[in-house]
Amino acid sequence: MRVITSKAEMKAFARQTRAAGRSLGLVPTMGALHEGHASLIRRAREETDRVVVTIFVNPLQFGEAEDLARYPRDEARDAAACETAGVDLVWAPTVEEVFPLGASLARPAPGRVGDLYEGAARPGHFAGVLQVVHRLFDVVGPSMAYFGEKDAQQLFLVRRMVAEEASLRMRIVGCPTLREPDGLARSSRNASLGAEERTQATCLFLALTEAAERARAGERDGNVLVAVMAREIGATPLVKLDYAAVVDDATFEPIGRIDGPARAIVAARFPEVRLIDNLLLPEPDA
């Protein structure tokens, strides 16, 4: 496995891979790799010939109030994890490689959905996400790109960007959320939870599964499911609910009445850590 920083080397690797008739799988990350990332890498290995992991903590997607400097970074550990997972190439570029000063780069607009939920909590976040993802896609060129359903709104916006810009020639693969045994979605942020916080962090998954059970039992009123989730998270002492919502899975817009694929989404805050999670709601049992 090679670890590179240069964009030119990344381009050369992608070019050689395609010239040899091999497919390329791209797994974009911000490092601090965990089993969730590893599951994306495994999927990419199953479906493509050469797997590239990018490690880039994108300054554009952090708000002013968010501490970019505090984001966990450990390149040696991440490289070892990639090696173990069978990655072919790690591209860990500098900010200058990705966003050269003076370069006029595409700035895909996240649109209305970009201002909802995570976008409302983190203004400018999705504009930053789409700009870096577009840039990575430009450099790597036509390939399969693997994203986690854990960040469902991000996955939705990346899919829509690719659908609207045929020249990107990417295939986006959404991968299921990997969870701890008690249901907590794996996340780099979990490591910052205290012991009692960690125990209470299951409230996000509990809220989602409760909403899913009600949906399975036939509840079609999105507002009822939202209330169920808000109650569960609201009853957890160390956590503050940020939002709970039910969205149309095809548009990511909030819905009142469920009459097709719908997704429950939640975000909650501990004093120092903000967590998000989501679940596709089941169809009612016949």
Active-site amino acid positions: 37
Residues in the chain: 286
* Residue 24: its H or E element: strand 24-29
Contact status: 143 vs ligand AMP (CB under 6 A): no
Contact status: 279 vs ligand AMP (CB under 6 A): no
Contact status: 276 vs ligand AMP (CB under 6 A): no
Per the structure block, which two tokens stand in for 224?
């009822």
- Min dist CB 9 to ligand AMP, Å, is 22
- Sign for the CA dihedral angle at 256, 258, 260, 264 comes to positive
Determine the Cα–Cα distance for residues 131 and 115; give it in Å rounded to an integer.
15
- Min dist CB 269 to ligand AMP, Å, is 17
- Single out the residue of 48, 131, 143, 177 in contact with ligand AMP (rule: CB under 6 A): 177
Determine the Cα–Cα distance for residues 133 and 127; give it in Å rounded to an integer.
10
Q: State which of positions 181-200 bind ligand AMP (CB under 6 A).
A: 185-188
Q: Which is nearer to ligand AMP, 146 or 243 (CB)?
A: 146
Contact status: 85 vs ligand AMP (CB under 6 A): no
Q: Which is nearer to ligand AMP, 10 or 228 (CB)?
A: 10
Determine the Cα–Cα distance for residues 244 and 267; give it in Å rounded to an integer.
7
- Helix, strand, coil tally for the chain in percent (to 5): 45, 20, 35
Contact status: 281 vs ligand AMP (CB under 6 A): no
Determine the Cα–Cα distance for residues 160 and 183; give it in Å rounded to an integer.
29
Contact status: 26 vs ligand AMP (CB under 6 A): no
- Single out the residue of 36, 93, 114, 222 in contact with ligand AMP (rule: CB under 6 A): 36
Contact status: 131 vs ligand AMP (CB under 6 A): no
Contact status: 178 vs ligand AMP (CB under 6 A): yes
- Three state DSSP letters for 223-271: HHHHHHHHHHHHCCCCCEEEEEEEEECCCCCECCECCCCEEEEEEEECC
Q: Which is nearer to ligand AMP, 37 or 135 (CB)?
A: 37
Contact status: 147 vs ligand AMP (CB under 6 A): yes
List residues binding ligand AMP (CB under 6 A): 29-30, 36-37, 39-40, 147-148, 150-151, 175, 177-178, 185-188
